[in-house]
Amino acid sequence: MGGSTYPRFGRLHFTSKYSDLTITCNYRQWAVHRAIVCSRSGFFDGACSSQFREANSGVIDLSEEDEDAVEQMIHFFYHLDYLNRPERPMATMFRHRANSNARRRLPKKLDLYLIEDPLLTQAGCYVSDEPQSPTTPSEGRISPDLVEGKVRSPKSRSQTPPLVHDDDSDYESAEEEDELAQPASHLTMHTRVYALAEKYDIPSLKQLAKTKFEMEMACYYDSPEFAEAIEEVYCSTIDSDRGLRDVVLETFTCHPQLANTQDVFTVIKDTPSLALELFKLERGIPV
């Protein structure tokens, strides 16, 4: 076949065209499409039925939820993934401007040291960069060049500074440093998305959040947000929901030293269900 038979829902994510439902969360709102949202979520399917108020108003208020988690949930509706940040469609008319390196990167800062001051030049303040001869008794004499009004500036000042390619731009280096400074894991976000998927009956999103949480827990168990993430797990899920809790217990089994850190120990002390399950795990009692 000549191409994909499935509609490109991702394009609809960035436009309100044909939208017939609004999801709000505090001061944020998203224009969505019932055909897409209701096909993914049992909750939205029920809320948009004729017997509920939301069906007539066309607005569903989720202000009690975390805004960022709601945003990722809506992202999943259209892309079947989240936290991947696809690029927005670029306007064709001005695409050449957006792709211009001159507009994306600012020039390097001007080095004022390379600018000659004409007053200082006349006063003979610039000294030649040629190697000086050994000190002689005549060193204090005035140079014949100065008498004749000829002042020689260093060669480095008389030449045009070399051009620097965009690849060597300080701004690009700063952007790379900012990217490296960003946290590597999203453990807490995966936990909140998992809880939303359970609450709003989105099984595929719940499984995806569990997979992402498990993968990042294996790689970033020593992340600074580990303590916050495990507290979120045990506060946002019920005891019978073992999806994320088993991942947390497995992490403690592989890395028991985590319980010795101050922030994790505080979470264990303040979370009785977690403390009980860790006690059972240590004693070999089935959780």
Average pLDDT, the chain: 77
Q: Which residue's structure tokens are 């991947």?
A: 84
> Is the model more confident about 262 or about 92?
262
Is the dihedral angle over the CA atoms 142, 148, 153, 155 positive or is it negative?
A: negative
Q: What is the 3-state secondary structure (H, E, C) of the chain?
A: CCCCCCCCHHHHHCCCCCCCEEEEECCEEEEECHHHHHHHCHHHHHHCCCCCHHHHHCEEECCCCCHHHHHHHHHHHHHCCCCCCCCCCCCCCCHHHHCCHHHHCCCCCCCHHHCCCHHHHHCCCCCCCCCCCCCCHHHHCCCHHHHCCCCCCCHHHHCCCCCCCHHHCHHHHHHHHHHHHCCCCCHHHHHHHHHHHHHCCCHHHHHHHHHHHHHHHHHCCCCCCHHHHHHHHHHHCCCCCCCCHHHHHHHHHHCHHHHHCHHHHHHHHHCHHHHHHHHHHHHCCCC
244 pLDDT exceeds 70? yes
pLDDT at 182 over 90: no
pLDDT digits (tens, 9 = 90+) for 66-80: 999 999 999 999 999
Q: Is 263 exposed, middle or buried (0-12, 13-18, 19+ CB in 10 A)?
A: middle
Tokens 């303590």 correspond to 227
Q: 139 vs 216, which has greater pLDDT? A: 216
Residue 139 predicted with pLDDT over 90: no
The pLDDT of residue 148 is above 70: no
pTM, entire model: 0.65
Q: What percent of the chain has pLDDT over 70?
A: 61
Give me the helix-helix angle, 187-199 and 67-79, nearest 10°.
70
Q: Is the pLDDT of residue 256 over 50?
A: yes
pLDDT reported for residue 162:
52
**Higher-pLDDT residue of 132, 92:** 132
Q: Could you give the CA distance from residue 206 to residue 212 in angstroms, rounded to a whole number?
A: 10
Weakest-pLDDT range from 82-91, 189-198, 235-244: 82-91
Torsion-angle region of residue 85: left (phi > 0), alpha (psi -120 to 50) or beta? left
Choose among 105, 112, 225: nearest CA to 174. Answer: 105
Residue 99 has pLDDT above 70, yes or no: no
Measure the N-to-C terminal CA separation of the chain; round to a whole number of Å. Answer: 52
What is the C-alpha to C-alpha distance for residues 232 and 68, in angstroms, rounded to an integer? 15
